[in-house]
Structure 1
Amino acid sequence: MRYIGAPPGTVIKANSEPLNPRLDLANKSPTGFSWGYRGSGPAQLALAILADYLRDENATLAHYQAFKEKVIAALPEQL
């Protein structure tokens, strides 16, 4: 079976810890992270990365869609 982005069981880490999906900020993809296209999985990954990096909920919510479009969607489907 071919997967786009994260195959089932994939754990995305930040600073050696599993990345918090931050569903409390926006629930775009409760089934998990993904990348390589424009969709809900990439949106959740972009949100989680920015929330972890910026540590500012307002800035995260203001910028995660642009980050998804410019960075996360542009990643190769298979890493």
Structure 2
Amino acid sequence: MVRSPLTPQQRAAGRRLGAYLRDARGERKAADVAHAASISPETLRKIETGRLSTPAFTTVAALAAVLEIRLDELARICR
């Protein structure tokens, strides 16, 4: 099965999500946040830079829990 290319809107939403998560992380080290969320630091970097525009829900939920962000707030950012 071939995945369809992302639309410009999906890529823009991914960049907004990444920027929001990066701001929420603040001064905390990416490696510490990634470890707490049980993801790799590289995955977190890809999300924060928008290179991973559509991360898995479980990944977003784990980051939201670690960063103490409500999921409905992240959903609003991605609209």
Give TM-score scaled by structure 2 length. Answer: 0.35
Q: Higher helix proportion, which one?
A: 2
Q: Higher strand proportion, which one?
A: 1
Higher relative contact order (CA 8 A, sep 6+): 2
Give TM-score scaled by structure 1 length. Answer: 0.35
